């Protein structure tokens, strides 16, 4: 597992620079967010139905990242993102309240509900804690090194070097995205 300090040190080895640590941490936050925009890692949340139509979902769920909802044997389509017919089961999700609403409400108490969604970056890095690690899976932490090196090379107007490092990390991220897409279908 790489820490921010290790990533910063390795990126400095690749691209010696005078960029402040605080600025590098800001870039690492952007890299952490960008990672999850490219690599869609599936997660599952399970819940048990009650006599209600609304359920509270974990805080790391975003409406745009939900791709599958099922309760018992019934699948629900997104009211916000899919074309639905009048008699189909639908769901809506409120990002602010973290409330999942199922229409119609589940037909029975005690059923297992499943929400499949894509993981997001949940950590905001601070320059006061360089022992933090990226939210990405550990085997992909190394990709943050060429990503940061790309940002650093751009500060020195070395577009060729920046493009080289960008190609490295984006290639790894695209391969990881393909792997996770295969795992979730």
Query: How far apart (Å, rounded) are the C-alpha atoms in residues 143 and 35?
Result: 9
- Which ranges constitute the DSSP H helices of the chain? 4-14, 21-38, 144-155, 159-184
Query: How far apart (Å, rounded) are the C-alpha atoms in residues 121 and 77?
Result: 25
Task: Note the pTM of the prediction, 2 decimals.
Answer: 0.84
Q: Which pLDDT score is estimated for 80? A: 84
Query: How far apart (Å, rounded) are the C-alpha atoms in residues 93 and 118?
Result: 14
Number of H helices, E strands in the chain: 4, 7
pLDDT band at 11 (very low <50, low <70, confident <90, very high): very high
pLDDT band at 182 (very low <50, low <70, confident <90, very high): confident
Give, for 70, the enclosing helix (H) or strand (E).
Answer: strand 66-71
Name the average pLDDT for the chain: 95
Tokens linked to 45? 């949340």
Indicate if the pLDDT at residue 183 is higher than 60.
no
Q: How many CB atoms lie within 10 A of CB 183?
A: 9
Is residue 31 helix, strand or coil? helix
- Give the tens place of pLDDT for each residue, 87-108: 899 999 999 999 999 999 999 9
Indicate if the pLDDT at residue 154 is higher than 80.
yes
Are the C-beta atoms of 56 and 98 separated by less than 8 Å?
yes
* Cβ partners under 8 Å of residue 91, min gap 6: 66, 69, 76, 77, 78, 79, 100, 101, 102, 103
Tokens linked to 180? 């996770």
- Give the tens place of pLDDT for each residue, 76-89: 999 988 888 888 99
Mean pLDDT of the 114-121 span = 95
């Amino acid at each position: 597992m790489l820490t921010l300090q290790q990533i910063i040190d390795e990126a400095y080895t690749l691209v010696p620079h005078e960029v402040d640590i605080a600025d590098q941490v800001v870039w690492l936050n952007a890299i952490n967010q960008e990672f999850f925009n490219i690599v869609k890692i599936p997660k599952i949340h399970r819940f048990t139905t009650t006599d209600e139509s609304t359920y509270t979902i974990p805080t790391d769920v975003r409406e745009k990242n939900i791709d599958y909802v099922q309760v018992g044997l019934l699948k629900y389509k997104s009211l916000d993102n899919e074309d639905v017919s009048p008699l189909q089961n639908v769901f809506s999700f409120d990002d602010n309240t973290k409330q999942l609403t199922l229409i119609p409400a589940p037909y029975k108490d005690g059923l297992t509900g499943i929400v499949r969604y894509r993981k997001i970056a949940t950590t905001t890095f601070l320059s006061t804690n360089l022992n933090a690690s990226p939210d990405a899976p550990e085997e992909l932490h190394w990709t943050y090194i060429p990503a940061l090196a790309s940002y650093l090379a751009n500060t020195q107007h070395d577009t060729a070097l920046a493009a080289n490092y960008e190609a490295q990390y984006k290639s790894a991220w695209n391969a990881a995205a393909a792997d996770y897409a295969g795992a979730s279908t």
